[in-house]
A and B are shown apart, each in its own frame.
Chain A
Amino acid sequence: MLKHPTSMHADLMLILITTAIAALVLLIMALLLASIVRRVLNDRMYGKLDALRHVYGRRLSQALELEGIAVQKEAFLAKPGSLAWQAVEDVLFAVVSEGKFADKGRTLFQKLGYMAFYEEQLAGRNVLARASAIDKLGRMRCTASTPKLIPLLEEGDPEILSVTVRALSRIGTKEALAAIIGRLPDILGRSLVTRKAMETALLNFGETAIPYLIGHHWERADPWITSCILETLSHLAPDARSVSLAIEHLQSPNAEVRSKALKVLGRADANIPRHLDELVLPLLEDPIWFVRLQAAKSAGALVLKATARPLGKLLFDKNWHVRRQAALALTGFGHTAIDIFLEALSASDGYAKESICEEIEKAGFSDRLIANLGGVDGPLRTKSRDILKIMKGLHFSTPLIAYLEKGDDERIKQEIRCFLTDERTP
C-alpha cells in the first residue's frame, strides 16, 4: 500500500494484487454458483425421489398384499443408478427391515438385479464404494449373497473386513456364521477395529449363534478368542450349553477368560448347576481384581448364599470397584447380609465402611433396616439399629432424616430420634 520506488515495481504489485482479487472474485462466484446449482439439483432430485418413493411404496404394498410379486416385477424395474432405482431400493429396504414381507423384499432385491449390481461393485478398487456395496448387501439380507461376501473376510483392509463381518451378521445365515467363526482368530487378531466390529456383529446372529459358538473346538484356542466367545454368550439368552462352556473355563489360566466365564454364569438363571457356589467361591479370592469383581457380581446376581461370607471379606478388598460390588451384591442377600455388614462396619477401614454405607443407601437396603426397627424380631432390630447408628456416625444419615420427615411409624421415628441425638454414636 506504499508508493513504489519504480513504476515497474508498482505495476508489478498492481498486477499481482488485481489478479489475486480477480481470482478471489471468480472463486466466490464459483462457490456461489456451485451452492445454487447444487441446491437446485438437490431440490429437484429429492423432490422426484420423494414422489417416486411414494409411488413405488404404494405400488409395492399393494403388490405385497396381493402376493403377485412375480407377475408385477416389471413395474419396479429401473436403470441402475437412476432415481427410480434408488427409490425402489429405499422402499425395499423399508420392507426388509419391517419384517412382515421381508422374504418377499429380499426376493425382489434379487429379481430386480440389485444384488447382482452391488455384487459386481465388490470387485472395484474404491474402498468407500466397496464398503457401501457390502453394507447394502448386508441390509438386503439376501442369503444368496453370502458366498460372494465370505471371501471378503480374507481382505487386508480393516474397514472392508469390519463392514463384511457386519453385513454377514445381518444376513445371519449359518454359512455366514460358520465362515466368521472359522476365521475368528484371524479377524480378532487383525486389529482392534475388527475385534470390536466382530464382538458387535456376533450379537446380530442372536441365539442361532450359540451352538456354533459352543460347538467349535475352542480348547486350544487363543484366550482372546475364548473371551470373545464368552462375552458374546453373556449377551445372548441364558442357555444350558453356554453355562457348561463357562464352567469349563472357570479354571482358565487367563484372567480375561475366567472373568467372562463368570459373566456368562451370572446370567444363568434357571440353568444354575447345584454346585455353582463351589465353583464361584475360589474365584472370589482370585489374584486378579476384575475376576473378583465379576465373581462378586455373579454371586450377587444369582444370590449364591454360600458366597455371603467370602463377599463380606471382599468388602475390604484393596480395589474399590470390588468393594462396592461386594457391598451391592450383599444387599440382595436380605437378612443374611445384616450380620456381615455389621461386622464389616465395626472394622477400622474407613474407606471400606463408606463404600458399604453408600451401597446400602443406594440399593434401598437402609429402608429395610429402618423398617426392621419397628419389627418384632428383637435381635434383628438391634442389629439393624446398630448398622444405622454406625451409618449415621459416618454421615450417612439422610434416610433417617427422610424417615423422620415422611415416615408413618411413630415407634420407628422415636427410635431414630433417640440415636440421632445420641452423642455416643461412633
Chain B
Amino acid sequence: MRTAIIYFVIGFNYFVGAYFGIMNTVYAGLLIISLFAILRHIHRVKYSPIRDFRASPETPPVSILMPVYNEEKVVIRSIRAALLIDYPLFEVILINDGSNDGTLRTVIDTFRLKKIDRVYRNFLKTETVRGFYYSDETPNLLVIDKVRGGKADALNCGINGSLSPYFCSVDADSLLEKDALIRLMTPVLESGVPVIACGGVVRVLNGVQLGDDLTIRKIDLPDKPIILFQIVEYLRGFLYGRVGWDALNSLLIISGTFSLFHKATVIEAGGFKVGNVSEDMEVIVRLHKVRRSQKKPYRIRFISDPICWTEVPENIKMLARQRRRWHLGLIQSLFHNREMIFNPRYGTIGMLVMPYYVLFEIIGPFIEILGYIVVLLSYAVGLLAVKFLMLFITLAIFYGIFLSTAGIFLEELTYRRYPAWGHMFRLLLYGVFENFGYRQINSFWRLQAMVRYLTGRTGWEHVENKGSRSGPKGEKL
C-alpha cells in the first residue's frame, strides 16, 4: 500500500509539473499575443470610421434584448441607458421573465406603456407570452411579459419578437456606454468574413458615479476587498484572456452581459439552450459547431474597448453563487458539445481550445485540491521536502501575481480607466492579495460546481443586485 502511495505521489508530482508548465505557457502566450493585438487595436481605433458608421446605410438595425427577473431596483436605469445609446436604428426589447416583484408595473408606469396585440411567431419554443407593452412616446421600446422560463428562454422569446437582423443581449444590471453598440458593430462592418457574434470588455460598475444623463461621471474604486479582487480579475480576464483567443480566432466565451449576435445564425443553431446556467457560453460553442459543420467562413470577435459596466456581487454568498454558476455553465457547455473535443472537423476549436478548457479550466480546481491532498500524503509517507514545497508554492504565487500585474499593466498601457495613482497601487496590491485566499476559495467554488454537475444539481443560482443604491443622480453604486 505504501509503495503504491509512493508511486502515486511521485507520478502526480511529475504530472503537476507538466500540467503547471503547459498551462502557464498558454497563459504567457496569450499575454504576448494580447499585448500586440491591443496595441494594434488602439492605433486602429484612432482612424476608425465609427462616426461615419452612424450615418451609413451599411449599419444594420439591432434589437437590444434585456431579460429581467425581479430587477425592480435597476431596470429603469438600465432601460434609460439603453435608450440613450448612440446608434442609428435600434429597438430595446425588455423581456419580463415572470418577475414576481414590481418590475413590470414599474416599467409600464415609468414609460407610460399600453398593452398591445402583436403577431408573435414561436420560431424558438418558449414559455407562454402573457402580453406586449408599447408606447408611441418611446417607439423603440417593447416590453414582452412572459411566464418564467429562465434567462435563455427569455432571450429566445426576445429573438422571436425581434425584427432586426442582429440582436444584442444585455443584462439588466449593466450600463452601456453611449457608443457601445456602434463600437461592437464595427467588426461586423469592417470584416470581409461574416461576423456572427461579437463581445466587448465588461467593467465593474460598483464604485462608479453616474451623471444625470446616465454616463460615467467619475470612476472610483470601492472600499470592499471582494469587489477589488473582482476588478483585478475582470482586467486580467478581458484584457489578455479573450483578446488573445480572439487573435487566434478561437474565442469560446463572450460575456452575455453585452454581446452582439447575428439573429438568423442563432436561430439556425437552435437559439439559447434552456437549462444551461451559462447560456451565453453554450451558444458560442454551438455557433462554432454549426458553422464549422457547414464549412462556412465566419468570425466570432471580441473587441477590447471598454463598453459596458456591470454590477458585481458585493458579498461572499452572492459571489459564490455566481462563480459556481459560471463554472457549472462551462462544464455544461463543453459536455453538451463533447463530440467537438479532439474532433479535427472543428479545427482549432475542437483540437486546441476545447481540450484546453477541459484540461485547465474545468479540471483545474480538482487538480489543485488533489494537490493539497497529495502534499499531505507525501508528508505521511515521508517524501515531502518542505523546502521544495515552499519553493513550489512561492513559484505559483509569483506567477499569479505576475498575471495580475500584467492585466493591470495592459490597462495602464491602453484605456487607463482607473486614473488616480491610488487606483493603480490598490489594484496592484489586490493582485498580490488575491493569491492568499481569494484564488483558493474560487477553486473551491469551482470544485463545488463540478460536484453539483456530477450529482445532477444544475439549477440556476440567482444573484441579487445592489441596485437599490444606484441611480441617475450621481450617487455612488
Contacts and interface: CB of A to CB of B under 8 A. Distances in A.
A135 B378 CA distance: 64
Give the contact-size bracket for chain B: 35 or more
Given A21-B398, A24-B402, A39-B424, A199 B43 contact: no
Interface in A335-375: 354-355, 357-358, 361-362, 364
Given A14-B391, A193-B192, A199 B56 contact: yes
A240 interface: no
A39 B134 CA distance: 49
Contact of B412 (A38, A135, A235, A355): A38
Contact of B405 (A4, A28, A197): A28
B114 A2 contact: no
A163 B391 CA distance: 54
A63 B117 CA distance: 63
B106 interface: no
Interface string A159-203: 000110010000000000000000000000001110011011101
User: A32, A34, A234, A361 — which one has the most chain B CB atoms within 10 A of its CB?
Assistant: A32
Interface in B390-421: 391-392, 394-395, 398-399, 401-402, 405-406, 408-409, 412-413, 416, 421
A18 B46 CA distance: 44
B385 to A, nearest CB: 5
Contacts of B134: 362
Interface string A1-38: 11110000010011001101100110110011011101
A136 B465 CA distance: 45
A2 B10 contact: yes
Given A31-B402, A39-B424, A398-B116, A192 B192 contact: yes
Contacts of B10: 2
Contact of B421 (A21, A39, A166): A39
Contacts of B49: 162, 166, 197, 200
Nearest to A232: B57
User: B52, B136, B408 — which one has the most chain A CB atoms within 10 A of its CB?
Assistant: B52
Contacts of A234: 57
B395 A21 contact: yes
A43 B233 CA distance: 26
A21 B401 CA distance: 11
A141 B10 CA distance: 71
Nearest to B118: A358
A39 B427 CA distance: 14
A35 B424 contact: yes
Contacts of B384: 1-3
Interface residues of A, number: 58
A38 B378 CA distance: 46
Nearest to A126: B43
Nearest to B193: A192
B294 interface: no
B191 interface: yes
B57 A1 contact: no
Interface in B44-62: 44, 46-47, 49, 52-53, 55-58
A121 interface: no
B71 to A, nearest CB: 25
A36 B408 CA distance: 11
Given A39-B412, A166-B52, A364 B402 contact: no
B54 to A, nearest CB: 10
A310 interface: no
A397 interface: yes
A47 to B, nearest CB: 13
A199 B191 CA distance: 15
A89 interface: no
B385 A3 contact: yes
A396 interface: yes
A204 B57 CA distance: 12
A2 B388 contact: yes
User: A2, A163, A361 — which one has the most chain B CB atoms within 10 A of its CB?
Assistant: A2
B383 interface: yes
Contact of B52 (A24, A32, A201): A201
A158 interface: yes
A31 B395 contact: no
Interface string A234-249: 1100000000000000
7 contacts: A1-B391, A32-B405, A35-B405, A131-B44, A196-B189, A354-B119, A361-B116
Interface of B: 9-10, 13, 40, 43-44, 46-47, 49, 52-53, 55-58, 114-119, 134, 136, 189-192, 375, 378, 382-385, 387-389, 391-392, 394-395, 398-399, 401-402, 405-406, 408-409, 412-413, 416, 421, 424, 428
Given A2-B385, A358-B118, 10 more contacts: A2-B384, A17-B392, A31-B409, A38-B412, A128-B43, A199-B57, A231-B57, A357-B117, A362-B134, A398-B117
